[in-house]
Amino acid sequence: MKALILAGGEGRRLRPLTNDRPKPMLEMAGKPIIEWQIEWMKKHGVNSFVILAGYMKERLVEHLGTGAKLGVDISFQMEGEPLGTGGAVKSARAAFDKEERFVVANGDIITNFDLSKLIAMNKNVATISLTPLRSTYGIVDTDGIRAVAFREKPLVKDYWLNAGIYVMTREIFDYLPDKGSLEVSIFPKLVALGLMDAIKFDDVYWSSIDSFKDFEETSTDLGNGQVYK
């Protein structure tokens, strides 16, 4: 199984941490984000990776090399200018055009959901993973006038987030732009055409590293063994 990791962004909201490295190279509990991702996917049968690199791409190449030290095969697709997530996937077409299906992952996600399940349940052009919305605040339950319970940052299971990990078939390339966003430009079109499935992953660990708070909390969780047992 093969995967494309989108690792070309600058990570501006995490500066100065990203002044000298791309966001996927930020070290958390002793390893860069992208290394945690590769090790997680490897456990689910992914053994070949294409890294879409842009900002400070040399740091990714220097650290990952051919992938031999991680027991996988790694190659790189260099992004000369920002293409958006849709354009980025399309730019790697030559590496995936012969694959029946492949994984696409945003390069800033830490999760432990069952990737094998997402791969096995892919029956459409694209299958998106979903995770419940976690409240950023504590919730107070009442019986009308009295406070009866407190819940610290609970999962709000009426709403489901795009978890940033997808399985796609090679037919996806027929719908991708040279530049543009998967999330804004492509996914709504696929939904309208009935070409996209969604798989919910409940009670799993999931974090998108978008802020200093995300970085600090997820680093602690990784270090404490709360993500990967």
Q: Known catalytic residues?
A: 153
For residue 31, what are the β-bridge partners?
28
d(CA 110, CA 164): 10
d(CA 165, CA 190): 16
d(CA 2, CA 19): 30
In the numeric block, the tokens 């740091």 are attached to: 59
- CB–CB of 70/39 below 8 Å? yes
Amino acid sitting at position 44: H
Stretch (H or E) spanning 163: strand 155-169
Nearest to 190 by CA among 91, 124, 118: 124
- CB–CB of 133/160 below 8 Å? yes
d(CA 4, CA 129): 15
User: Which stretches of the chain are DSSP H helices?
Assistant: 33-42, 57-64, 84-91, 93-96, 115-120, 187-192, 212-223
Six token digits for residue 163? 């978890």
